[in-house]
Amino acid sequence: MEEILFPPTFYIIGTRFDPLAIDEIADQLGVSTVDGPPSALAGTTPAGRPPATFWDDLWVAMAIQLYNGDLQPDRLAEVERAMHDWLSSKGLGAAEMTVRTRARKLFRAYEAEKAKK
């Protein structure tokens, strides 16, 4: 007879998870997620690149485009494109996934407000 381990152990290698999707799943399950990197929880200095200083300016630019009606996205890709266009116009760049995560947050908020009207 085969021994069954409980709880089961899974090893997931080489996989990245969308943080927003994880938050949604956690909300549905009624559990909380932790804000911040694990190193912040351990009381150590987080490693890696510091956040780029242009993000606030990018948010302002997107807000202005939305307010003026220059950006009326029907799809997430349109928000991503607008963000990449702004970055290019300033001679800046950001990782595609970093832009997508922020674009998704903006697009979901935009869609929620549009649904209220």
pLDDT of residue 28: 74
Q: How far apart are CA 83 and CA 93, in angstroms?
A: 10
The angle that helices 55-68 and 76-89 make with each other, rounded to 10 degrees, is 120
pLDDT digits (tens, 9 = 90+) for 99-114: 999 999 999 999 999 9
**Domain boundaries along the sequence of the chain:** 55-116
**Pairwise pLDDT comparison (77 vs 26), residue with the higher score:** 77
pLDDT digits (tens, 9 = 90+) for 11-31: 666 667 676 776 677 677 766
Whole-model pTM: value is: 0.58
